[in-house]
Structure 1
Amino acid sequence: MEGLAGALAAHRPELLRFLTARTGDGALAEDLMQEMWLRVREGRPVSIGNPRAYLYRMAQNLVLDRLKEERRRMARDLQWSSSRTDEHGADLDRSDPEKQMIEDERVARFTAAIAALPPATGRAFRLNKIDGLGQAEVAASMGISRSGVEKHIARAMVHLRRSLAGED
């Protein structure tokens, strides 16, 4: 193997560790590594001065792209679910612009507060509270203890309460 594909094969273990550290999820790191492999194989052959640095930049960009994609998905899902009902499940009166504006602001604050969580804390919160996984499942998915998951969720809840109360 030559060029970038050869560099990717040679640096695969360290890139995988890098991706795992950045995402906190071994399975996601493997997915991103596969995506890197596909991009390298499908790309045009070019001469790159420092293939290792190029691959690390590619890996970091993939992590950032995945994070942005997840945040957009969460915001869209949150907006969709809150646009139909309030926090008690009652249909919202869409004919009242003031109520709509207040609800839209609340959704925007909540979405921003979730996006502002540290990566591991946000991931634990989303897996548990939004995706509905139990704490043991979250712990297994993230490769941490159940106690670690509990701490992340507690931190997230404190942060969200403060953010929604306007303290942050």
Structure 2
Amino acid sequence: MGKTPLNGLEAVYHAERPKILRLLCARTGSDAEAEDILQELWIRVRQPSQGPIANSLPYLYRMAQNLVVDRQREVQRRAKRERQWLDQHSTGAAKGGEPADSSPNPEDAILDREEGARLVAALETLPPGAHQVLTLHKVDGLSHAQIADRLGISKSGVEKHMAVAMKYLRRSMLGGY
């Protein structure tokens, strides 16, 4: 079976394919998506045209750009539909629906409780200075300078206590590593 002769637009497509692919990669940011659009462009180029095309190259590039825009619009429409669906199904009774269960699953709840217990145990065994500085900073919201003034120590001393506390807590939470 012989090859069918290429029409003018097909010939330009084949000649410019690498350049069109580079353009599509730049426009989409994805090699795979650029290849998909290039394939779609090829399918459209192969369809019989309504008449002669005076400037095949600009026409081909415009077709490619239009396909990119079509894809972007489809992505936006899909994202909007998904947001609407999530809003309806996560906030509750829109159109008589039941709200989604926002409570953690049992396994996550157990893991959270265990992690909380480890943190409390680690906090209780912190050295006194580190415990006091950590509490003043993280719970009471005082700056390092304010803590230094309150405790009558240097700002550097506060930073050292914080470093000890954070290192100790990190080791406790990671199992001694």
Which TM-score applies when normalising by structure 1?
A: 0.51
1:28 match: secondary structure: helix
Partner of 1:47: 52
| CA displacement at 1:81 relative to structure 2 | 1.4
Give unpaired runs (5+ residues) of structure 2.
Answer: 1-5, 97-177
Candidates 13, 16, 27, aligned match of 1:11: 16
- State the alpha-carbon separation in 2 of the partners of residues 95 and 85 from structure 1: 13
Return the letter of the residue paired with 1:50: N
Where does 1:48-67 land on structure 2 (aligned, <5 Å)?
48-67=53-72
2:43 match: secondary structure: helix
Partner of 1:72: 77
CA RMSD of aligned residues (A): 1.8
| CA displacement at 1:49 relative to structure 2 | 1.3
Partner of 2:34: 29
Bigger-Rg structure (1/2): 2
| CA displacement at 1:47 relative to structure 2 | 1.3
Which TM-score applies when normalising by structure 2?
A: 0.48
**Where has structure 1 moved over 6 Å in runs of 4 or more?**
none
Percent of matched pairs sharing the same residue: 46
Give unpaired runs (5+ residues) of structure 1.
Answer: 87-91, 97-168
Return the letter of the residue paired with 1:37: W
| CA displacement at 1:43 relative to structure 2 | 2.9
Specify whether residues 9 and 69 from structure 1 end up closer, same or farther in structure 2 by C-alpha distance, changes over 3 A only: same
Return the letter of the residue paired with 2:47: E
Specify whether residues 48 and 38 from structure 1 end up closer, same or farther in structure 2 by C-alpha distance, changes over 3 A only: same
